[in-house]
Amino acid sequence: MSAVRAQNAGRRQPVYGLDLVRFAAASLVVLYHLGFKAWALDGSSLHGALGRSDAFPAGYALTWCGWVGVQVFFVVSGSVIAYSARGVSARRFARRRAARLLPAVLIAVAIALPTAVFVFGTATAQAVVLSLKTIAFVPWGPWIVGQFWTIPIELAFYAIVGVVLFSGAPERAMHALVWALGIASGAYWLVAASDAIEPGGRLAELLLLQHGVYFALGMLCARMGEGDLGRRHLGLAATCIVAASVQVRTAAEWEMGARTDLSAQWPWAYALWLCLAALIAASFLWRAQVAARIGRFGGVLRLAGLATYPLYLIHIHVGGTILLAAARLGVVPAVILAFAGTAAVAVAIALWFEPPLHAAIDAALRRIGQRVPRYRPAG
């Protein structure tokens, strides 16, 4: 088994199915914000700028629960980190993550700052402060990019994984981390289901109590791809899946607010999440077969995966601007144009703007790393 793991670690075969799920998750979030929240829910910047309300915008049955794409993202993140961090040093892991996160954030802020001021009417001083908070990765909001709220949660997960990789026995520690995340977060939500605690709060998010079940489930999906799951892991996966149903139900109430007519339909959102989580597991379980069959379409899927992160970060400011300009055409045409325009910009960022920034940041971090003494844990 160890020989197989070493071979897989060196080869790092692309998981093409994961790129498709990533893009689907980002699309869900985009369609939720542009196709439902902007029209139907008070309190959003887009709703205020749009200046009109429609409790049931055209296609709402397909868009109202798109927020569950975030829960899908967390499963994807857990699986990607578990798959890519194996056999990697803590230093290299930190450099990779920083070089992956920073470029898109810098580009998104460069887009969001002028858009917030000139399109959404945000005061210049406030927009600058929010931009600086975003660039500095301050974990408490607000931020210039509202959906940035998930990134510090990802960073909290990365920090724990970095500590695991820094330990003297990363394989054992990573195994323990899966259990710790799944049990702690699962217990949190199962206790919340009994009304013993009131779930919520930024601290619970940053401590991964709210979303740890998703990271743990993703890590289990990656282990499944290595043929490294036992019956006890299936029990942990079942616990995470049950706890996720409580989290999704609660998230539906948070997202919908007074719209109890829709929050009561949370099982549809949960079913959608469950299907995409199953696709993540299948992507790892049959990654070799998928890679052998997709042939020349592999590059397209990889590009879709790379465009997902910028798509997620820029869709309010790019897509929202298009939506406001096209709103007179009606909900469906405006949303289609906004989605297409945002996707085109995201692809351009992934193709032409992110790579040079990524290379520059990675090179700078390498130089910094060469000046820091290496620590080798005993044993």
Q: What confidence tens digit (pLDDT) does each residue in 160-183 have?
A: 999 999 987 888 999 999 999 999
| Cα–Cα distance, 33 to 108 (Å, whole number) | 17
Residue 6 lies in a domain: no
Alpha helix (H) residue ranges in the chain? 2-11, 16-32, 38-40, 45-50, 60-63, 69-84, 90-118, 124-135, 150-166, 170-193, 202-206, 212-225, 231-256, 260-263, 266-285, 287-294, 298-314, 320-326, 331-348, 354-371
pLDDT computed for residue 113 by the predictor: 98
Decide if pLDDT at 294 tops 90.
no
Contact 236, 224 (CB under 8 A): no
Q: What is the mean pLDDT of residues 337-343?
A: 98
The residues, any chain, with a CB within 8 Å of residue 252's CB and separated by 6 or more, are 65, 262, 263, 265, 266, 269
- Name the percent of the chain lying above pLDDT 70: 95
Specify if 5 maps to a domain: no
| Whether the predicted pLDDT of 6 surpasses 80 | no
DSSP 3-state of 58: coil
Q: Is residue 9 included in any domain, yes or no?
A: no
Q: Which residues of 315-349 are buried (b: 16+ CB within 10 A; e: fewer)?
A: bbbbbbbbbbebbeeebeebbbbbbebbbebbbeb
Q: Tokens at residue 65, please?
A: 């629960």
Between residues 110 and 291, which one has the greater pLDDT?
110
pLDDT on residue 368: 86
**Structural domain includes residue 2:** no
The predicted model gives 131-146 an average pLDDT of 97
**Average of pLDDT values for 62-80?**
97
- pLDDT at residue 238 in the model: 96
Of the candidate ranges 133-142, 149-158, 189-198, 228-237, the one whose mean pLDDT is the lowest? 228-237
Q: What is the pLDDT of residue 376?
A: 58
**Residue 338 placed within a domain:** yes
Residue 331 within a domain: yes
Residue 295 has a pLDDT of 78
Residue 377 in any domain: the answer is no
For the cut 70, the answer to whether the pLDDT of residue 378 exceeds it is: no
Residue 297: what pLDDT? Answer: 85
pTM above 0.85, yes or no: yes
State mean pLDDT over 281-306. Answer: 90
* 3 pLDDT more than 50: no
Cα torsion angle, 42, 47, 49, 51, sign: negative
Mean of pLDDT values over 40-59: 89
* Domain-located, residue 306: yes
What average pLDDT does range 32-46 have in this prediction?
92
Q: Which domain holds residue 293?
A: 14-371
pLDDT score recorded for residue 1: 35
Indicate the average pLDDT of the chain: 92
Structural domain tally of the chain? 1
Please report, rounded to a whole number, the percentage of residues in the chain having pLDDT higher than 90: 80
**Tokens encoding 354:** 């992110």
